[in-house]
Structure 1
Amino acid sequence: MKKSVHVVGAIIENEKNEIFCALRSPNMILANYWEFPGGKIEAGETPQQALKREIQEEFSCEIEVGKKVEDTTYEYEKVIVRLETYMAKIVQGVPSISEHADAKWVIRQSLSQLDFAPADLPAVEKLVQK
């Protein structure tokens, strides 16, 4: 039986309506895909708490989590991923990458040009249509 993981992703938007996207590094699972940054929900955490902690750990900045955008379950080759994505904005600091290969701010209309991980795609489609 495949392992299931429950993860959260932050759709961090700035005042120019650009969204922060992170590129998974070659040594990560799902290498070289773009994603909305986030990670696994630990025991006892709400999705919002998990997002705040992950963004603090991986990008050294603080976010405020807004409304839920999408809740997607995607079956990869080795794992089943449930991804909940939330709108967010940075309230303190500037994101810097530690684990990812790259990161950039992208206008909504251009999101579909990036090669996103499959579980992120339903959220990408929603954002591009807005």
Structure 2
Amino acid sequence: MLVNKPRLIVVAGVIEKQGYYFIAQRLESASQGGLWEFPGGKVEVNETPAQALERELREELSIGTTTGVWLADSVFDYGDKIVELKGYLSHWQQGEIQLNSHQQMAWVSLSQLDNYHFCAADYPIITALHNHMAQMSNTKG
């Protein structure tokens, strides 16, 4: 018998600053506690993914952002729920980062991302980010 699991649409922002990317570690008490992620959260009813991402980054990090290009979608079954994660480049506009719902943060280079244990749904976004950056460097050629 198939059980209908809740399916959550979640957005994640890849914030870049001077060649480094912002990642945050989930609270130990949270689902996927202790793992790293690109911050974001659930898309609410009547919200576009871009609106949700900008709201979530304001709530989680106290910063204002604008949503840039879409990187990847990732669908992952966590057992109790299915998460459809939409990853976007995010551009920091204003504010100082405050960790309102994470325990640690880091600014890391693209190659350093491999040194962190991410939530499973974030890995396709990392792959897409590598591909996007390679494509960008090829077009600058």
| Equivalent position of 2:119 in the other structure | 117
| Equivalent position of 2:9 in the other structure | 6
1:1-130 aligned at under 5 Å gives the runs 1=3, 2-14=5-17, 16-129=18-131, 130=134
**Which amino acid is the alignment partner of residue 117 of structure 2?**
D
Which is higher, the Rg of structure 1 or of structure 2? 2
5+ residue gaps in structure 2? Answer: 135-141
What is the deviation of 1:128?
A: 3.4
Give the secondary structure class of the aligned counterpart of 2:85: strand
**Is contact 1:112–1:124 with CA below 8 Å preserved after alignment?**
no
TM-score (norm 1): 0.95
CA–CA separation in structure 1 for the residues paired with 2:69 and 2:40: 15
Give the secondary structure class of the aligned counterpart of 1:101: strand
CA–CA separation in structure 2 for the residues paired with 1:4 and 1:21: 24
**Is contact 1:111–1:128 with CA below 8 Å preserved after alignment?**
no
What is the deviation of 1:127?
A: 2.2
What is the deviation of 1:65?
A: 0.6
CA–CA separation in structure 1 for the residues paired with 2:80 and 2:124: 20
**Is contact 1:68–1:87 with CA below 8 Å preserved after alignment?**
yes
Structure 1 runs, 4 residues or longer, greater than 4 Å off: none
CA–CA separation in structure 1 for the residues paired with 2:38 and 2:97: 13
5+ residue gaps in structure 1? Answer: none
CA–CA separation in structure 2 for the residues paired with 1:77 and 1:103: 27
Give the secondary structure class of the aligned counterpart of 1:81: strand
How many aligned residue pairs are there? 129
TM-score (norm 2): 0.88
CA–CA separation in structure 2 for the residues paired with 1:127 and 1:68: 10
What is the deviation of 1:34?
A: 0.3
What percent of counterpart residues are identical? 35
| Equivalent position of 2:137 in the other structure | none
